[in-house]
Amino acid sequence: MDDAPVHARVLVASNRGPVSFTLDDDGTTTMRRGGGGLVSGLSAVVGSRGAGTSEPTGKADVIWACAALTDADRQAARRAPGGRLDLAGHDTGGAAVRMLDIPPPVFHRAYNAIANSTLWFVHHLLYDTPITPNFDVGFRREWDSYRAYNRAFVEALADDAAPGAKVVVQDYHLTLTPGMLRERRPDLRIAHFSHTPWAPPDYYRMLPDEYGREVLEGILGADHAGFLSQRWADAFVACCETFLGARTDGRTVEHRGRRTRIGVHALGIDGPALSQRAGQPDVDGRYAALREIVGDRRLVVRIDRTELSKNIVRGLAAYREMLRTYPEWQGRVVHLAFAYPSRHDLPEYREYTAAVQRIAAEIEDEFGTEDWGPLVLQVNDDYPRSLAAYRLADVLLVNPIRDGMNLVAKEGPILSERGCALVLSREAGAAAELGEDAVLVNPYDISGTARALHGALRMPAEERLERCRRLAATASALPPQRWFADQLAALD
C-alpha cells in the first residue's frame, strides 16, 4: 500500500478488525466492512486535528492491528505486503489495517479455548461448576497459544509504532498484550479497554493462580485500563488487590513500581447515524412485513446473538409464564425473538441454540392457534430487519445474565416510534445508565421477568413515551466518537 505509514502515532489492536473477507469461486477475495462502535469511534479522530495529539493527523497516522479470522482473511493477509491491506474505497474509520496471519491452531486455541471458553466464561459467570472448568495439561497448552497470539500482536504493534505512540488495546483476547508491549517498547503510551464485565474475586479465583495473575499483570502493563461501568472497574481493582497484593485508591492501581489509572468509559450510540440507517428502503420493506405479522397486537422484541450470557432461554420461559399467568394476553401479543448465530465452533453454543429452538417450539405448541402465532423466532442474521423491529416494538426485552454494556438496550429506545418500554437485566452494564427509566429485572427470576413484561405491556402510553425519550437521550449521550476520544485523551 503506497501511502501506508511506516510508523503510526495511534494504534488500535483488536481480535476482530474493521474489515473481513469472503472467498469467491475464482479464488479471489472480496472485502466487507465490519460494523461496530470502534469503526465509528476511529472516524471521528482520524483525519481531524489530533488523534489525541496536538498535531494534525492524516489518514496514515493510524494503524489497526487485527487477526485474520477465516481462510479468506488469511489469504488476503498473505497477499498484502507486510500484512497491510489495500483498503482503497473502504471506510475503516480512516485507519490502515494490518491483518495478522496467526497459524490456525494457535489462533483456534487462543480464541476459542482461552478467550471464549475461559476468560469469557469467567467474566460472565457461565461455568456449570460441578462439571467445568477443568484446568489440565491441555489447558496449559492452550494458554501457551494465547501467549503466542498476544505475542504476534505485540510484534506487529512494536514494529509499527512511532516513538511515544498511543496504543489502544481492546478486550479479553488481548489481556497480555499491554504488559508484553511495555517490555518491548517502554516509550509507548498504552491503554487497555475491557468490553466485558469483570468477574468478582470469588469467581476469578477459579483460574489457576499463575494464569489469573498473568492476566491482571498483563493489563497493568497499560498506563490506563478502561471499563464500561464502575462495577466492572471495581471488580478488576478488587482482583488486583486480592491476587497481586496491589495498592490502590480505587482510581489507580500500583504494582511493581508502576501505576495504572482506572477509567470508566460508557459506550453509547451514534443516534443520528442509526436513525438515518433505520430510515433506508431495505428497513422500510422489513417494517411492512413485520407489521403484517403483528397486526394490531402488542409487540415484545428481543435481539441478540445466540450467546450463553444473553439468557434467551429464560427470556422465552418468562414470556411463556406471562401468557400462562396473565391469560388476557393470549391472542393479543406477539414476541419477535431474533437470535443470530454466534460462535458455532463451540459445542456449548450449538447446544444452547438447540435449547432456544426447543422452548420456542414448546411455546408455539402450547399457545399457537390458527390465527395467532405467539412467538416468531428468527435465527438468520438480518440487520435491517432488526432495525425495523426496534421501530415497531412496544416492549424491548434485554435480560442477560451479565453483560459488559449491551447496546441493544440503547438502540431500541432511539429507534422506537411509539415509545417502547425497556425490560432490562440489572446485570447489564447499561443498567447503570438506563436503570431509572427501564423496568429492571433479576435475569434468573423468570416469574419476576414475566411480571415485568406484563407491567411493561400495561404501562400507560404517555409514561412509556416519556421514559423512552429519556432512555434515548441517555443512550446517545456518549457516542462511540466520544468514547474513543476519551480513551486517547486518557493517555495524555
Positions touching ligand F6P (CB under 6 A) are 16, 171, 195-196, 343, 404
Decide whether 195 or 410 has the Cβ nearer to ligand F6P. Answer: 195
Distance CA 221, CA 258 (A): 8
* Pick 69 or 313: Cβ nearer ligand F6P: 69
CB of residue 312 to ligand F6P, shortest distance in Å: 15
Task: Return all residues near 256 (Cβ < 8 A) that are at least 6 apart.
Answer: 217
Nearer to ligand F6P, 115 or 360 (CB): 115
**Spatial separation of the C-alpha atoms in residues 179 and 181, rounded to whole Å:** 5
Contact status, residue 10 vs residue 51, Cβ threshold 8 Å: yes
Spatial separation of the C-alpha atoms in residues 486 and 478, rounded to whole Å: 10
CB 160 within 8 Å of CB 82: no
Instruction: For ligand F6P, give the closer residue by CB, 221 or 400.
Output: 400
Residue 162 or 432 having the CB closest to ligand F6P: 432
Residue nearest to ligand F6P (CB): 195
Q: What are the cell numbers at 433?
A: 445508565
R_g of the chain computed on alpha carbons: 23
Q: How far is the CB of 202 from ligand F6P (least distance, A)?
A: 22
**Cβ neighbours of residue 141 closer than 8 Å, sequence gap 6 or more:** 109
Q: Which is nearer to ligand F6P, 53 or 229 (CB)?
A: 229
Q: How far is the CB of 428 from ligand F6P (least distance, A)?
A: 11
Other C-beta atoms within 10 Å of 81: how many?
Answer: 9
195 vs 224, beta carbon nearer ligand F6P? 195
Least distance (Å) between residue 26 CB and ligand F6P: 28
> Residues, the chain, total?
492
Q: Which long-range contacts (CB under 8 A, 24 or more apart) does 370-376 make?
A: 372/297, 372/330, 372/331, 373/293, 373/334, 374/319, 374/323, 374/330, 374/333, 374/334, 374/335, 375/316, 375/319, 375/334, 375/335, 375/337, 376/293, 376/334, 376/335, 376/336, 376/337
Q: Residue 434's closest CA among 426, 445, 444?
A: 426
Nearer to ligand F6P, 349 or 367 (CB): 349
Q: Which residue has the cell 474513543?
A: 484
| Cis bond before residue 133 (omega within 30° of 0) | yes
Q: Which is nearer to ligand F6P, 36 or 448 (CB)?
A: 36
Identify the DSSP state of 130: T
